[in-house]
A and B are shown apart, each in its own frame.
Chain A
């Protein structure tokens, strides 16, 4: 088999086709891939890189060039969508990612107060422009666009506690809110694909089985994530769900994604058994990546490969104090195909 380019390898692995070795990626978005070392090395610093397309693209490009993950990924947070629809966001600082400080709605019934996501303004445009810049570099590296999951986005537009209660007490209003969000996420997702994204990753840190329970995980998370996925025409669709998945193993096959990404607390063997048809991605502990020596990271990667992980990736967003040496060690361990022999 000839040596695949990073893009060919990711797209093949996503479809569970035979590859020379697994790709080693980190999608971006909620699955933050950026850290201080690379920001300082590239002089594309947070928080500017969240609002300046040149710096956003520059940071993503520099990480790959420095021997980091085998993809470009933007943005570096999960607040772009909610902000575009009306949430107030604090952009954070060099080490702390942007976060919503004020939700515009006190109930999902006040949908009328939201504004539609405009891909020609604000940070939605920054993300689109950054993808165009990365695409124009014309490299073999896949560009991954990101969307905050519909339930997580709803939890930023309405206070999350209120939203969860309304899922139970006002399901009709909650459904209308979810449909509004889905339509706007589709607009943003399609614009990212048109700008050149080779894959889209949807992350649901809030819409988890642990928080919602299995019935609402199906009724809200799976239903609305699928509504977004079905409307997107892209070669690889990735979904990341945080936390323990014990209560929802049987429901996961209903997700219309190619790749399923999961947390480090979830045993790989259980996910493989639950999702025989999908490529699986993960689940290197971000705590280990942030604090342990490179040799330990290599061990974790090898163990992950031996257990049959299709795509090697961090299990969650990276701490911004993660050392570049550990990310390089992670990628090197995956590239060391000898460990994969047999």
Chain B
């Protein structure tokens, strides 16, 4: 039998090596050996996804690899999650994410969701071609901390600004951060429409949300 450390390493390796078929078996063995699910997720699967992100930043991995790594991560999560203690599903920051109305390109959005999920955020994915009002309604419903909006088409960009206006109208703008991304989006555009931030890719999106949420916590403490 393998030690916990060996199992964690194996889980992490399955993710970074895109072994989406064998990861489930390793996760089952890990649980059968009596090791804690939470550690398997954080020090195994999420660690593997983090290594994949590092390889992506070094341009050794590209989008196809990240997608396959995330398949492996999710297959492992399917096994480990049911074994989490109730207390371990701790209160997390909630994020509503979607591709805006008029656009169906969702790879970028999916990667951002995956990386934010791996970073511990509770993700509510509205999918693609999402009506503007739906971002606002969902954020209200789940009491979201962040709305993340993506588009790959220049003709759908103005909708992003309208979501922000709708949040203002409903008096929600102060407590919900809005971040935007996608190929035609620039930091200048994000500033112009009054968004709280822009990220160029999924790895940067995690850094951005960490920063926004960290700043948020500090302002609450102050």
Residues of chain A whose beta carbon lies under 8 Å from any beta carbon of chain B: 32, 90, 92, 95-97, 99-101, 160-161, 164-165, 167-169, 205-206, 210-213, 216, 242-243, 247, 285-287, 290-291, 316-321
Beyond A96-B155, A212-B63, A247-B59, whether A316 also contacts B68 by CB under 8 A is no
Contact of A99 with B68 at beta-carbon distance under 8 Å, contacts A213-B62, A216-B62, A319-B158 already known = no
| B167, chain A: closest CB distance, angstroms | 21
- Provide the residues of chain A in CB contact with B80, threshold 8 Å: none
In the complex formed, the residue of B with least CB distance to A319 is: B154
Task: Report how far A303 CA is from B158 CA in the complex, Å.
Answer: 28
Judge whether B142 is part of the interface by a CB distance below 8 angstroms: no
Rounded to whole angstroms, the CA-CA distance of A211 and B108 in the bound complex is: 10
CB contact between B153 and one of A211, A213, A287, A317 (< 8 Å): that residue: A317
- B105 A243 Cβ-Cβ under 8 A: no
Min Cβ gap A138→B in Å is 32
Partner among A96, A165, A316 whose Cβ is within 8 Å of the Cβ of B156:
A96
Q: Give the residue name and chain of the A residue nearest to B18 (CB).
A: A168
Contact status B62-A212, CB under 8 Å: yes
User: Which among B9-17, B116-124, B185-193, B213-221 touches the partner chain?
Assistant: B185-193
Pairwise interchain contact B64-A96, C-beta atoms closer than 8 A = no
Contact of A160 with B64 in the complex, beta carbons under 8 Å = no
A216 contacts B102, C-beta separation under 8 Å? no
In the complex, chain A residues whose CB is within 8 Å of the CB of B155 = 32, 92, 95-97, 317, 319-320
A99→B184 contact, CB < 8 A: no
Set A165, A286, A317: member contacting B64, Cβ < 8 A: A165
Check: B67 CB closer than 8 A to any chain A CB. yes
A94 to chain B, nearest CB (A): 10
Contact A160-B105, Cβ < 8 Å, known A167-B64, A168-B68, A321-B158 = yes
B198 to chain A, nearest CB (A): 12
Are A316 and B64 in contact, with the CB atoms below 8 A?
no
Chain B's closest residue to A321 (CB) is B158
User: Which B residues are CB-close (under 8 A) to A321?
Assistant: 158
Other A-B pairs beyond A161-B107, A164-B107, A167-B64, 19, CB < 8 Å: A95-B158, A96-B155, A97-B102, A99-B153, A100-B104, A169-B68, A210-B62, A212-B63, A216-B62, A243-B183, A247-B59, A285-B186, A290-B154, A316-B154, A316-B184, A317-B153, A317-B184, A319-B158, A321-B158
Complex contact B153–A97 (CB within 8 A)? yes
Q: Does B196 contact A (CB under 8 A)?
A: no
A287 and B186 contact, CB distance less than 8 A: yes
Residue of B nearest to A162 (CB): B67
Least CB separation from B153: chain A residue: A97
Task: Say yes or no: is B95 at the interface (Cβ < 8 Å to chain A).
Answer: no
Counting contact residues on chain B (CB < 8 A from A), the size range is 20 to 34
7 A-B pairs closest in CB distance: A213-B62, A96-B102, A164-B64, A319-B154, A97-B155, A211-B63, A168-B64
A-B contact pairs, 30 of them (CB 8 A): A32-B154, A32-B155, A92-B102, A95-B158, A96-B101, A96-B155, A96-B156, A97-B155, A160-B107, A161-B107, A164-B67, A168-B64, A168-B65, A168-B68, A206-B105, A212-B63, A213-B59, A213-B62, A213-B63, A213-B65, A216-B64, A285-B186, A291-B192, A317-B153, A317-B154, A317-B155, A318-B154, A319-B154, A319-B157, A320-B155
Contact B154 A211 (CB under 8 A): no
For residue A164, which residue of chain B has the nearest CB?
B64
Taking the closest CB of chain B, its distance from the CB of A119, in whole angstroms, is: 25
**Nearest Cβ on chain B to A99's Cβ, whole angstroms:** 5
Closest to A320 in B: B155
**95-137 of chain B: CB within 8 A of chain A:** 101-107, 110, 129
Q: Does B71 contact A (CB under 8 A)?
A: yes
Q: A320–B153 Cα gap in the complex (Å)?
A: 11
